[in-house]
Amino acid sequence: DQQVKQNSPSLSVQEGRISILNCDYTNSMFDYFLWYKKYPAEGPTFLISISSIKDKNEDGRFTVFLNKSAKHLSLHIVPSQPGDSAVYFCAASAYEQGGSEKLVFGKGTKLTVNP
C-alpha cells in the first residue's frame, strides 16, 4: 500500500521554465510534508516543507502547494536551472496511535533541466 505516490518517474523541462513536481497521498492523517532533492551518489537533502495548516510555502525559487481536499501537493521550481536536475522525493509525516511518528517517502521523480 503506497501511501505517498509520485506518479511521474521523470520530468524534462527547459531552462528558465517552470518545473512542477506532483505528489499524492492517501493517508488523511498526514499533517506535514517535505520535499527532498537527491543528486547521484549523494544522500537526499531537505528542500522545503509545508504544514497541513497552510496551503502554500515559498522559499526563493521553490514553492510548495498543498491541496488537502485532493490530498495532493506540488513543488514548483521557477525559473528552473540545470543545477536543479536531480531526483526529488516527496515525504509525508503523521503521528500514529501511541505517539510514534511516521515518515513515508514517495519513489521520487527525476527532473532534468535542459540548457
Partner 1 sequence: GAVVSQHPSRVICKSGTSVKIECRSLDFQATTMFWYRQFPKQSLMLMATSNEGSKATYEQGVEKDKFLINHASLTLSTLTVTSAHPEDSSFYICSASRTSGGLTDTQYFGPGTRLTVL
Closer to partner 1 by Cβ: residue 71 or 106 = 106
Q: If you search the block for the grid coordinates 517552470, which residue do you land on?
A: 18
* Among residues 17, 54, 56, 107, the one that binds partner 1 under rule CB under 8 A: 107
Of 113, 112, 90, 114, nearest to 103 (Cα)?
90
Three cell numbers written together for 14: 527547459
* Among residues 8, 22, 27, 49, the one that binds partner 1 under rule CB under 8 A: 49
Three cell numbers written together for 112: 532534468
Closer to partner 1 by Cβ: residue 4 or 13 = 4
Q: Is 46 in the site for partner 1 (CB under 8 A)?
A: yes
> Per-residue contact track with partner 1, 52 to 91, x per CB under 8 A?
-------------------------------------x--
Give the whole-angstrom CA distance, residue 29 versus residue 95.
8
Q: β-pairing, 10-14 with 109-114?
A: parallel
